[in-house]
Structure 1
Amino acid sequence: MTRRNALDFDVAVVGAGPAGSVSAKEIAAAGYKVLLLEEHDVVGQPVHCSGLISPRTLEATGLDNDIVLNSIKGAVVYTPMGNTITVGGNRTHALVIDRALMDEGLARKAQEAGAVLALRSRLASMQRSDDGVRLHVQRGSEKAEQKIDVRLVIGADGSHSAVAKGMGTGQSEESIVAVGGEISMQSQHDDMVEVYVQPDLAPGWFGWTIPLGTDVSRIGIGSDEQGRNPRRLLEGLMESHEHLRDSSVLRLQGGVIPVAPLRQIAEPRAMLVGDAAGQVKPTSGGGIHTSILSAKICADVAIEALERGALGEEAAARYRTEWMRTVGLELYRGRLLRHMLAQLTPVETEQLLQLFTLKEVCEVMAAQGDIDFPVHLFSHLFRPAVVFRVLRALPLRLWPRLAWLLVQWYRKVSNHQPGLQ
């Protein structure tokens, strides 16, 4: 790749994960010159994701079922008091995918649409002006610097985004330190994930295992306490559960999960998408679905701005507005919900989780449970018959506490404009 003229490309997309590749594909398909920068030797490596998506998300990628490793029908939840609760099990709610194959497939689609993929290319710095953006890119093992001029830059380069740094927007104010990987374990439940809601093992977050349909399962754990060592947390999780104790760790990868979207996801001639923008579900840490939705919004705004030659504040404001309307409100409400649940004691959390054993709640979960829009479930749980049954099951001493938390959540959702940080 050599510099060809004053403006080498219309758009540079930094990061060839799902958000970056989808953005690049959509803009290239509209006829614009797009450069897709990826700092690693190959797309999709190293893997930082548990690879659990909905059937809806697979359809949105346009990829074949070849990337699917297993189907998931529900979850076995390990509670703070050491009990287990089975949720779902009636239909396929999620798919376990080969995340590397997904990333490769999406990057290939971007190339087929006309985008130029540059591997081993890391954005070192950038300067924006009224005329465009100059990127300083380090390429290859020698890290030779190349200057590339573009009209617009899109940052899809993860939670430690170089584009966000160049924009001066910083990082997500809330994050989870986590570790994930694979272990040799014959799962007890071939079509069920295991979720460990046990604050002594995973303070402020949870642990999980995901069966691959073989004698290998994915495993992970995280915490919102930044001083925690997630590898030590994983050791504690495996030691505390007999069926995990004798498993061999095959692969581990640490990372940071942003769980608070950035307020400023766009500036003149620069936009952020995916983890770089904190576009992750605050209740689960899942980000593939929200990244793909956000990438398509970002691309639509970028295409219109390129057509009009108006890449300034108007385009940035439109992206912020459209994203908030389509995706952001769900994440904002999810963040408030996470804050509310974090105030519960382990005993209160146990009592709340036991509600998922009630017939009325299980029926709502089976019909309305959606991993892409988890907050929507709560609106269905407020049906009179369900509320009456829940109140009968809850200890009386928990009523005032839960009512106060719900009122606080409702007030914030109803009355506040969601400035997300």
Structure 2
Amino acid sequence: MRKTERNYNILDTDFYVRVLIVGGGPAGSLSAIALKNYDVTVVEGHQSPGFPVQCAGLISERCYKELKKFSDCKVNDIRGAVFFSPNNNVELEGKVRAVVVERKILDRDLLAKASEHTNVMIKTKFLGVERDKAVLRSMGKRVELDYDYIVGADGVHSTVSKVFNFERPKVYSALQITCKFDCISEDLVEIYFGFSDFFCYAIPFDEFAKIGVISSENPTPILKKLLRWLGERVKGNILELNAGAIPIGLVSFVKNNVMLIGDSAGMVKPYTGGGLYYILKAVEKLEHFPNLKKIQKEYVKDLGIEYKVGMKIAKLYKILEPEDYDYLIGIAKERSDFAKELDMDKPSTLLKLIPLILKIVKKRRILMKLSSLL
């Protein structure tokens, strides 16, 4: 265990509150940084943070502005997106631009920053609790640790969530490759609808792209279908293959002296699968620590409407057919100005456009689907 370097005043009572953070990814590291005035221990099950990679790395500029304080991990700037259906496409630019980051670098830098004020234990797994002590397996040895609070930042398959019987979010599968790619533009993400019950994507950087699939079903045949559809735009061999799981739907994340944060709590945009912005918003609420109930109350107050609208969009993916996407993207070509009102971090910005969209859509079948959810 690493010893922190800090001069403590005898009246500094925060130091005597022991916080165990399970998980050394962005959620765990950012939590540790925010709680640096407490006696914090971070345990990370892998030998280094950021592996295996389970994130495409596309975030908003506002999100990157906050993360840049800790890590200069940007690999590309993105000004907009090209949205594809099987037989149509449209280029749109939203209200907020995006950045592609390298998650391996980001995760490493965040944990390094956290370690300046925190005890960090690598290759250490949280097993459970016995006699009010946390039971860990560190470097093959059993370790017992005293704690006052536990923060479960241990991902979608959270052990903390299982041990303390938290509700679990619905889980989607993700599969992503990295390869050379003939992109439409180096500063445009490509989003493909009509291939899965969520969406597929290509995120460019240099002469490469991260091409991926998100689905509630097996993503492998969907990715193969997408690659066939992209044809000769995919160049050479696959250079990296990553598989992961994406939680969809925020759950109640506080019980007594235990809280979840990040993927373990479903703190992910339900309509994109991205989680870093929502993690940052959750970390802001740690100013109320150790009042865990207030943390949850303030987080839901801040982002509840975003989850509500985001879940409706995610449900819409499931009921729209490929020909529906063809039609809607055709409409988007005629009214591309609508996209200027949309914020990639805030799906609630869609609300004021709904009346306009419903007026424009003429196909009754699609109108009924949109009306039923939105």
TM-score (norm 1): 0.80
Question: Which among 312, 318, 321 is matched to residue 342 of structure 1?
Answer: 318
| Identity between Structure 1 and Structure 2 (%) | 26
| Paired position in structure 2 for 1:11 | 19
| Paired position in structure 2 for 1:211 | 204
Distance in 2 between residues matched to 1:231 and 1:332, nearest whole Å? 29
Distance in 2 between residues matched to 1:27 and 1:217, nearest whole Å? 36
Q: What is the Cα deviation at residue 110 of structure 1?
A: 1.5
| Paired position in structure 2 for 1:415 | none
Question: Which among 32, 48, 56 is matched to residue 24 of structure 1?
Answer: 32
Instruction: Establish whether residue 238 from structure 1 lines up as the match of residue 227 from structure 2.
Output: yes
For residues 276-355 of structure 1, the aligned pairs below 5 Å read 276-297=264-285, 299-302=286-289, 305=290, 315-355=291-331
Instruction: Establish whether residue 100 from structure 1 lines up as the match of residue 104 from structure 2.
Output: yes
Higher strand proportion: 2
For residues 361-376 of structure 1, the aligned pairs below 5 Å read 362-366=336-340, 368-373=341-346, 375-376=347-348
Instruction: Establish whether residue 256 from structure 1 lines up as the match of residue 252 from structure 2.
Output: no
CA spacing shift, 1:145–1:11, aligned 2, 3 Å? same
- Give the counterpart letter for 2:192 in structure 1: Y
- Give the counterpart letter for 1:42 in structure 2: S
- Give the counterpart letter for 1:295 in structure 2: V
Q: What is the Cα deviation at residue 371 of structure 1?
A: 1.4
- Residue 78 of structure 1 contacts residue 197 of structure 1 at CA under 8 Å; is this kept in 2? yes
- Give the counterpart letter for 2:338 in structure 1: V
- Give the counterpart letter for 2:160 in structure 1: V
Q: What is the Cα deviation at residue 283 of structure 1?
A: 0.5
Q: What is the Cα deviation at residue 223 of structure 1?
A: 1.1
* SS, match of residue 66 in structure 1: coil
What CA RMSD, in Å, does the superposition of the two structures yield over aligned residues?
Answer: 2.4
CA spacing shift, 1:295–1:356, aligned 2, 3 Å? same
Unpaired runs of 5+ residues, structure 2, are: 4-14
Distance in 2 between residues matched to 1:177 and 1:49, nearest whole Å? 12
Instruction: Establish whether residue 84 from structure 1 lines up as the match of residue 92 from structure 2.
Output: no
- Residue 63 of structure 1 contacts residue 105 of structure 1 at CA under 8 Å; is this kept in 2? no
Runs (4 or more) in structure 1 with deviation over 4 Å come to none
- Residue 193 of structure 2 contacts residue 322 of structure 2 at CA under 8 Å; is this kept in 1? no
Instruction: Establish whether residue 193 from structure 1 lines up as the match of residue 189 from structure 2.
Output: yes
| Paired position in structure 1 for 2:127 | 124
What do the CA deviations read for 1:328-356 (whole angstroms, capped 9, x no partner)?
Answer: 33112211232244223332333223221
Distance in 1 between residues matched to 2:366 and 2:157, nearest whole Å? 42
* SS, match of residue 280 in structure 1: coil
- Give the counterpart letter for 1:207 in structure 2: C
CA spacing shift, 1:32–1:220, aligned 2, 3 Å? same
